[in-house]
Amino acid sequence: MISLFNFAVINALTIVPLALLVWVISRIAKRPALAHALWVLVLLKLVTPPLFQWPVIEIPVANQIETTGLDLPTTPVAIAPDQNHSNSRAEFASSKTGSFNNNGAGTFEPIAAVPAPSRPPARAVGQFLAPPVGLMVTVSNWWEVLAYVWCGGVVLAVSIQGWYAIRFARRILKSAAPCQELQEQVARLAHQMNLNTVPEVRIVAATVSPLLWSCGPRTTLLFPIALKMRLDSDSVATLLIHELAHYRRGDHWVRWLELIATSLFWWHPVLWWARNQIEDSEEECCDAWVVGQVPHQPRTYAEALLDTIDFLCNAPREIPPLASGLGNAAVLRRRLTKIMSGPSVQTMSRRLRMAVGLLAALLLPMGPLVFGSGTTFTLKPAAFALVEQSRLLPTPSAPTVSGDVGASESQSDLDNAAPRDLAGRSRSRRSETAWSTAVSPDGRFIIRATTGRRVLLSDLSLGRESDLSSEGITAVSFVPNGEQFAAIASDGRLMIWDAVTAELRRVLFTHDAALRTVAVSPHGDSVAVGARDGTLLILDLLSGDVLKRFPQHASQVNCVRYSQDGNRLAVAVGDWKSDAPGTVRLIELNTGTAVDLDCRTTPGAVMFVSTEELIVGEWNGHSTLWNLINHEIVGAAVANKSIVAAASFSPDNPQLREIAFESSDTNEE
């Protein structure tokens, strides 16, 4: 419900400048048909959810922190999770020879050196994170209160509109009766206006305006019998043409749009302004239709309107929801002036209709240009804070994974722990920190694996955090749409989770041995998993059917990653408990061919920097940069081995990208 409320607020803010622009255009163009189409577009935008966003200029983090009143220390900003690195060259900082760019031929060009970011102490991290978390809770609470008030108003608005409609049906429609004379007259007039269908005509005994009533299986034209007795045949014909013009223009469908928009945005002043402008434009357009059909009798039509207003003065006006009448008497003077001026433009030209249609196609599904993403714009500092946490962790607090260094918490412990044991064996929550993260493509969701053996899912748009520790999750991968993610567990399950509701949708696949790694393809149609027993599979993301089963490897599969184009799979294979050499296998998915890259020790994580470059992180902390054209090592580095463990948690992790590489020519074997 909160997400829908966020979209409602964004749409409510978006239509304010849009309505002002439409008002200016209407005043300049002075064409009621164009004004009507543009004001209807405003209402459509009000109820249309933003399906995509145009490219926006992101506000720098420092400015956002300043606007939210947060006093945060200056820290390096993490690589945005939704940046596209598929066609970019990798840039690596070098402590000796500067930075190097791979030119595709195995040579390097020196560029300005980029120093690796310094790691602040643990206390600085805590100070950095505390204010945004508090902000998230406060915003979330207010959002919930406003959301419930909004929903209560929606229920009340629907009830009021329904009550008016029911009362009208009981008081007015109950006495309505068919009128053969008017039905035949409407049929003749409809034929002159090139209408294929005609509404059913009924006369009523109540003092109401002639109107179209569109609630029910058929649209009904209601005409008061007392008014018919007061007018001559020509005057009645002009009023019938007016209502048929409403019918031909489809104004009865606009009434439904108004009903939906009013029920949802009862509190929005622009809504009521737009409704008044739509009604005025409709009446002017229908007046133009009448004058166009009877060009020699404008005075007859004007007098018929005056007689109708005089008829309605004897009783309160009864115009229910979903009805189109003769309009507001307050603007009658302007309408009569235009009627007496003679025929005017009835509809928009073909080119103008195409322009309005193109404008609608661009605006309706588009998110706001000013506010950015509708799900995260209010909590942007918190999103950066959570991403920063994984990059700024002090080295001693991160778990170690090397077999030759004693550690109380290793990657193997995490993989072997039963789901129910994770919470019981966890550290104090006060001292735990995140050692690895996964970020959704739109930046709304962040999954953190903590040193306290917990897996936490954070929804930054709601300020909500869900604990998934009981599921024994060991690795995750977001689906490109960002609202689902694949997760594997130490008991061999491959699961699909709903990130919005933090609920398990289905168990896609179960393997006999523990699964160690998972990666969803860039196209979002398949998922690759690797197991402790050396099994490597590619499954259909929807059905769970096995699409490809590769020959079983002799050692366990530690990491699988898709290339940015989805045509290649990198597979890290080896036993992390030993220092024996391992292998990274590059598999061309279209042809099935494979190339092995030999490693000095066991590879624990891999990352495609581009289609021509691959980073391989070994469990002992040694990392290499490979040129995939020549299959040669072009850079090497020694980093903390916890970086490799963190990078193996999710394809969205940027840890390997932060390693400072040196040219392989200067690196000793």
| Boundaries of every domain in the chain | 2-53+144-363, 393-417+424-663
Helix 269-293, helix 332-340: angle, nearest 10 = 30
Amino acid at the residue 343: P
pLDDT value of residue 122: 33
Contact at 8 Å (CB) between 91 and 102? Answer: no
CA distance 613 to 623: 13
CA distance 517 to 560: 6
- Residue-wise pLDDT tens digits, 372-395: 333 333 333 333 344 444 443 333
pLDDT value of residue 40: 94
CA distance 606 to 165: 64
The pTM score is 0.47
- Residue-wise pLDDT tens digits, 169-201: 887 777 788 899 999 999 999 999 989 899 999
CA distance 69 to 84: 31
Which residue is it, tokens 């969803």?
A: 520
Q: What is the mean pLDDT of residues 401-426?
A: 35
pLDDT value of residue 189: 93
Percent of the chain with pLDDT over 90: 30
CATH class for the domain made up of 393-417+424-663: mainly beta
CA distance 126 to 508: 38
CA distance 184 to 136: 66
CA distance 480 to 522: 7
- Residue-wise pLDDT tens digits, 484-507: 999 998 889 999 999 999 999 999
Q: What is the mean pLDDT of residues 19-41?
A: 92
Burial class from Cβ neighbours inside 10 Å (0-12, 13-18, 19+) for residue 624 reads: buried
CA distance 469 to 490: 12
CA distance 213 to 252: 8
pLDDT value of residue 319: 67
Structure confidence at residue 246 as a pLDDT band (50, 70, 90): very high
Q: What is the mean pLDDT of residues 402-421?
A: 35
Query: CA nearest 372: which of 625, 628, 124, 10?
Result: 10
According to the 3-state scheme, what is the secondary structure of 45-85? HHHCCCCECCCCCCCCHHHHHHHCCCCCCCCCCCCCCCCCC
**601 vs 327, residue with greater confidence:** 601
What is the secondary structure of 574-604 as a DSSP string? --TTS---EEEEEEETTT--EEEEEESS-EE
Structure confidence at residue 667 as a pLDDT band (50, 70, 90): very low
Q: What is the mean pLDDT of residues 280-305?
A: 88
pLDDT value of residue 373: 37
pLDDT value of residue 344: 61
Structure tokens at 247: 């019918």
Contact at 8 Å (CB) between 212 and 193? Answer: no
pLDDT value of residue 86: 38
Contact at 8 Å (CB) between 48 and 4? Answer: no
CA distance 33 to 508: 54
The CA-atom distances, in angstroms, between 280 and each of 253, 273, 287 are: 16, 11, 11
CA distance 383 to 482: 15
Structure tokens at 490: 């130490």
- Residue-wise pLDDT tens digits, 61-93: 333 333 333 333 333 333 333 344 333 333 333
Structure confidence at residue 362 as a pLDDT band (50, 70, 90): confident
CA distance 391 to 370: 29
Assess whether pLDDT exceeds 90 at residue 99.
no
What is the secondary structure of 400-464 as a DSSP string? ---TTS--SS-HHHHHHS-TTHHHHT---TTT--EEEEEE-TTSSEEEEEETTS-EEEEETTTTE
pLDDT value of residue 243: 92
CB burial readout 457-469, b (16+ within 10 A) else e: bbbbbbbebeebb
CA distance 389 to 603: 25
pLDDT value of residue 62: 33
pLDDT value of residue 247: 92
CA distance 69 to 556: 50
Which residue is it, tokens 């959810």?
A: 49
- Residue-wise pLDDT tens digits, 126-147: 332 333 333 333 444 676 788 8
pLDDT value of residue 424: 37
Structure confidence at residue 341 as a pLDDT band (50, 70, 90): low
Structure tokens at 52: 């995509």
Structure confidence at residue 241 as a pLDDT band (50, 70, 90): very high
Query: CA nearest 113: which of 91, 130, 131?
Result: 91
CA distance 591 to 9: 49
Burial class from Cβ neighbours inside 10 Å (0-12, 13-18, 19+) for residue 30 reads: exposed
Mean pLDDT value across the chain: 74
